């Protein structure tokens, strides 16, 4: 191939040197700063909301949710047998097993769309197929038991059941759709040894039962650290919430004992390095996404650039537009664990239709603007856009169907 032909087939972005790309970014940032009316009241409030949301996330979710999730993801990369992951969750794995695990595993995790990301990256980089990994990515924030119970109690049994059934079905439909659309890419990925360069299976002197118990212990610590409060009607649930730090601390002592007795120093070092790498990959993207989400939509109950009344006014009734808008708004908003329920209560009180309410509940907890940044970093533009589009479309259709049935 001639030099001229090569030049013609090279995209403009590929011809830009790193220095020129940085210059363009600086120029874009300058234009944004130059033309943004910072003295406008709504813009100033939106900027404040962006940092207040970031502060809220840092105080409420980083220490108890994100850091334990990083350690679990690192353990998946280092200690989980890669061939077993490919066998049971890979692109060619038996679909009933792979998608059942992906779709229902989120029921034990009370995590938000951001906390599930390190776990998704861990199993995906370890060799899980795109379909099962995406099913887990969706189900993790959407199907946890407390969220379903709280939805039924606060928003009504019908909406709670519709959310539970819809979340499980959508996790499977979403995973299968992504699998069939990108089947060729996924099969090539699992036969390419380069994809496994992020982690190396170590020689493990432990039994499968020991490794399984170790992983279950890490997950239990995450679950108990984030055990939500109840409404006072379930005594055991409230007792666990009160004692959650004590329980997690005792489990931590067990974890330290297991590490000293079962693991070699080089294994622990490898685990720490994998955990660090996940933190470096994910945290900056999450924080940027949270700042943007806070600037546009603010914290729950606080207005930012886009007024809440404007959103509420567009989701009344059960039209296609109302359902699509509700799904899109839910996909962009950041919901901390269980906060979607009181937010929905307020929106329904302001006139939101039942159909759009379900559409937002199906799209919101499993997606957010911060999550999109991280998913894009792992899957690329085409797969990320497809994932978002499928979530919005099926959530909108489910909302219309539900609104028609109950309306």
167-219 residue pLDDT tens: 888 888 999 999 899 988 887 776 654 444 444 444 556 777 888 889 889 98
26 domain residue, yes or no:
no
Q: How far apart are CA 270 and CA 264, in angstroms?
A: 10
DSSP letter at 149 equals H
Q: What angle do CA 140, 107, 238 make, to 5 degrees?
A: 115
Residues 6 or more apart in contact with residue 83 via CB below 8 angstroms: 127
79 domain residue, yes or no:
yes
What's the pLDDT band for 156 if we cut at 50, 70, 90?
Answer: confident
CA-nearest of 282, 298, 304 to 370 is: 282
Using left for φ > 0, alpha for ψ between -120 and 50, and beta otherwise, residue 351 falls in: left
Q: How far apart are CA 326 and CA 306, in angstroms?
A: 14
294 domain residue, yes or no:
yes
pLDDT of residue 406: 85
Task: Tell me the mean pLDDT in the region 25-37.
Answer: 87
Contact 49, 302 (CB under 8 A): yes
pLDDT of residue 201: 46
What's the pLDDT band for 6 if we cut at 50, 70, 90?
Answer: very low
Q: DSSP assignment of 260-296, as one string?
A: HHH--HHHHHHHHHHHHHHHHHHHHHHHHHHHHHHHH
2 domain residue, yes or no:
no
Contact 266, 202 (CB under 8 A): yes
pLDDT of residue 383: 93
219 domain residue, yes or no:
no
Which residues constitute the domain of residue 279?
A: 42-205+264-406
| Tally of structural domains, the chain | 1
136 domain residue, yes or no:
yes
Q: How far apart are CA 74 and CA 214, in angstroms?
A: 13
CA-nearest of 220, 218, 277, 263 to 75 is: 218
Q: Which of 161-175, 182-196, 323-337, 382-396 has the highest mean pLDDT?
A: 382-396
Cα end-to-end distance, the chain, whole Å: 64
193 domain residue, yes or no:
yes
Query: Please, what's the largest Cα pairwise distance for the chain?
Result: 76
Q: Which of 218-222, 337-341, 361-365 has the highest mean pLDDT?
A: 218-222
Q: What is the pLDDT of residues 116-136, one digit of tens each?
A: 888 888 888 888 888 888 888
What whole-number percentage of the chain has pLDDT above 90? 14
HSE, side-chain direction, 13 A CA sphere, residue 16: 11
pLDDT of residue 257: 94
Mean model confidence pLDDT for the chain: 80
Q: What is the pLDDT of residues 238-290, one digit of tens each?
A: 888 889 999 999 999 999 999 998 888 888 998 999 899 888 888 888 788 78
371 domain residue, yes or no:
yes
Residues 6 or more apart in contact with residue 57 via CB below 8 angstroms: 114, 286, 290, 334, 336
What's the pLDDT band for 14 if we cut at 50, 70, 90?
Answer: low
Burial of residue 28 (CB within 10 Å: 0-12, 13-18, 19+) is exposed
Using left for φ > 0, alpha for ψ between -120 and 50, and beta otherwise, residue 203 falls in: beta
Q: How far apart are CA 284 and CA 282, in angstroms?
A: 6
Q: How many CB atoms are located within 10 Å of the residue 254 CB?
A: 13
pLDDT of residue 18: 80
pLDDT of residue 7: 43
Contact 218, 251 (CB under 8 A): no
Tell me the Cα Rg of the chain.
22
């Amino acid at each position: 191939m001639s030099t001229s032909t090569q030049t013609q087939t090279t995209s403009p972005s590929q011809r830009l040197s790193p220095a020129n790309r940085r210059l363009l970014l600086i120029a874009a940032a300058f234009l944004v700063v130059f033309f943004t009316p910072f003295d406008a009241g709504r813009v100033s409030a939106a900027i404040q909301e962006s940092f207040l949301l970031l502060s809220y996330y840092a105080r409420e979710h980083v220490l108890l949710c994100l850091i334990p999730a990083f350690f679990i993801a690192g353990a998946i990369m280092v200690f989980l047998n890669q061939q077993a992951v490919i066998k049971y969750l890979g692109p060619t794995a038996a679909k009933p097993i792979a998608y059942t695990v992906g779709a229902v595993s989120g029921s034990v995790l009370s995590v938000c769309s951001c906390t599930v990301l390190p776990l998704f990256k861990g199993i995906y980089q370890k060799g899980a197929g795109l379909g099962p990994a995406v099913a887990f990515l969706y189900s993790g924030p959407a199907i946890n038991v407390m969220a379903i119970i709280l939805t039924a109690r606060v928003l009504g049994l019908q909406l709670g059941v519709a959310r539970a059934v819809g979340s499980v079905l959508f996790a499977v439909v979403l995973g299968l759709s992504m699998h069939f659309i990108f089947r060729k890419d996924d099969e090539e990925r699992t036969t390419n040894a380069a994809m496994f360069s992020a982690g190396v299976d170590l020689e493990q002197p432990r039994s499968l039962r020991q490794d399984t118990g170790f992983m279950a212990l890490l997950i239990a610590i995450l679950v108990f650290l984030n055990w939500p409060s109840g409404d006072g009607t379930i005594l055991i649930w409230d007792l666990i919430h009160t004692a959650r730090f004590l329980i997690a601390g005792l489990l931590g002592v067990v974890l330290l004992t297991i590490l000293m007795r079962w693991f070699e120093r080089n294994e622990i070092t490898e685990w720490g390095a994998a955990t660090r790498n996940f933190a470096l990959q994910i945290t900056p993207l999450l924080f940027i996404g949270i700042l943007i989400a806070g600037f546009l939509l603010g914290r729950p109950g606080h207005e930012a650039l886009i007024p809440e009344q404007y959103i509420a006014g567009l989701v009344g009734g059960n039209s296609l537009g109302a359902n699509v808008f509700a799904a899109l708004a839910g996909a962009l908003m950041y919901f901390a664990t269980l906060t979607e329920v009181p937010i929905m209560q307020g929106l329904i009180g302001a006139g939101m239709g039942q159909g759009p309410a379900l559409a937002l509940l199906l799209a919101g907890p499993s997606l957010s603007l911060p999550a999109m940044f991280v998913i894009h970093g792992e899957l690329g533009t085409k797969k990320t856009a497809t994932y978002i589009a499928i979530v919005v479309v099926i959530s909108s259709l489910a909302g219309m169907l539900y609104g028609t049935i109950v309306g």
